[in-house]
Structure 1
């Protein structure tokens, strides 16, 4: 009789182990795996479980309704509104700074355009003066032009000679002193 008790204990332990290993663990694994798969598919498994439990009469009291608190919502919306107001103010200040920068750049651009236009008018006047002088030297007798060029510095003579035709240049150089003509020719080559 003493031998029979341990066998029945082994059988009870064996059945409990069998139930736990064969039925409970695979069932638990299947439920967890199904929940993970449904979560990946975009189904809120926890919310569905909460709804199912709340429909069961005895378990409904155990599941607390976790609805959003109105005071919390109002506080959060007030904080969000304040944060957005601060952001709007910062963006408006940045916009005003950018507008001021644009106005400054436009003013600077106008000044540069006016300066450029003035410089262009001055250079046109100088070009006009040079072309008038060139015409005068072209119409002068080569000897007279040579006398005038002999009195000027070489850089200025080269400036005026560049505007003259080649035949007029050669006639004027022929009438100049050889040393002066040589220095002017050298300067014309370098120019």
Structure 2
């Protein structure tokens, strides 16, 4: 027993001697040397990376740089993708607005076409009704003249029928066109037509004629009206 205890004490003393005399001073020397070299500007990472155990603790600059580069690239790609999505979204909104505007324009044009068709149909119906009324009036006048049994009345009825058709044409015609046509006729023929027109139509046509023509026709119409009024008295 005493021999074993002496052996343990001897081995423990050697370990302590090695620890305090060799290992600790060596560690202190390495630390001091590394500090001096680091302050002097030497890169200690490269030599340490060659040591198997320490290299895993020190790490590699290339690895960190590569990782940082990948992260930067991923961030750039993400930003570019977000930008592309935003641009496509804006383009989609613009396309939807254009489509809505086109639909509204088409609807407006269709309404305008329907309105014009309705107006044209009403004008055609009014013209047909006017022609029918004029023809009925002419037929009535012709029947009355035939019932009188006089030759002069028969001749007058034959002249009255075409005259009524002409007047109805001028009544339904635009005032400007009527004035242009009447200007090409003789004053006598034009006066015959003007006498049969309604007052509103006569006023519109006289307004479209030249001042000279309008003055001539107005004067002749006034004379005839005075003579008719004088004859009636």
> TM class, shorter-chain normalised?
0.3 to 0.5
The normalised TM-score by structure 1 is 0.40
Structure showing greater relative contact order (alpha-carbon pairs closer than 8 Å, 6 or more residues apart): 1
Q: Which has the higher helix share?
A: 2
Larger Rg: 2
TM-score, L = length of structure 2 = 0.34
